[in-house]
Amino acid sequence: MWIQGEEYISSKRASELSGYAQDYVGQLARKGLITAQRVGGLWFVSMASLTEHKSHADTYVPQLPE
């Protein structure tokens, strides 16, 4: 699906491609951490923004409290 010149895929398809749970993809969309649009009650996400988010998340190293 194309919205404003950008390609979006369903959250279900995005979860299959990314390895994230569909609920987690929706959570990222609701928080505005990825580019997404809600259409007819379903989330459609930009796979490019999800891939970028995933690359940053994969390199995250938690810091222990002092």
Q: Could you read off the pLDDT of 26-56 as tens digits, one per residue?
A: 999 999 999 999 999 999 999 899 999 888 8
Q: How far apart are CA 20 and CA 5, in angstroms?
A: 25
Cβ-in-10-Å burial (0-12, 13-18, 19+) of 33 comes to middle
Name the maximum alpha-carbon separation found in the chain. Answer: 47
Residue 39 makes CB contacts below 8 A (sequence gap 6+) with 1, 3
Tell me the one-letter amino acid at 7.
E
Q: Looking at the predicted structure, is the pLDDT value of residue 58 above 80?
A: no
Instruction: For residue 47, give the nearest of 9, 6, 19, 4 by alpha carbon.
Output: 9
